[in-house]
Structure 1
Amino acid sequence: MANLRKILLVDDEEDLREALSEQLVMTEDFDVFEAGNGSEALEKAKEQIYDLVIL
C-alpha cells in the first residue's frame, strides 16, 4: 500500500458516507477520512492535506 491518495469525504448522511467510503477503500488506492459537517471538515483540512475533497 504505497502512496495512497487521501480523500476527505464530507456528508451529513452517515449511511451514504459509510457506503461510499467502503467502496473507495476496497480499491486499495485511497485512504478515506470522513466528516459529518462543514465545521468538522474544516478542522480536518487544517490538520493535513488531502488529494481530493468530496462534498
Structure 2
Amino acid sequence: MTKQIITDPRILELKEKIKDNGYVQGAIQRIALVLSDRILEVKDTMHERRI
C-alpha cells in the first residue's frame, strides 16, 4: 500500500490541529452542543404536532 502525499493546505492545517488535545476536546464539545440543540428542536417540533 502506497502512502498518498497530501498537499491541500486545509487538510495539512487540520492534521496539525488534531495533534492538540485541547483543540479536539473543544471540537467534541461544539459537536455535542449542536447535536443537543438539534435534539431539543426535534422534541419541540414533535410536541407541537401533538398539540
Higher helix proportion: 2
TM-score class, shorter-chain normalisation, is 0.3 to 0.5
TM-score (structure 1 length as normaliser): 0.30
Higher strand proportion: 1
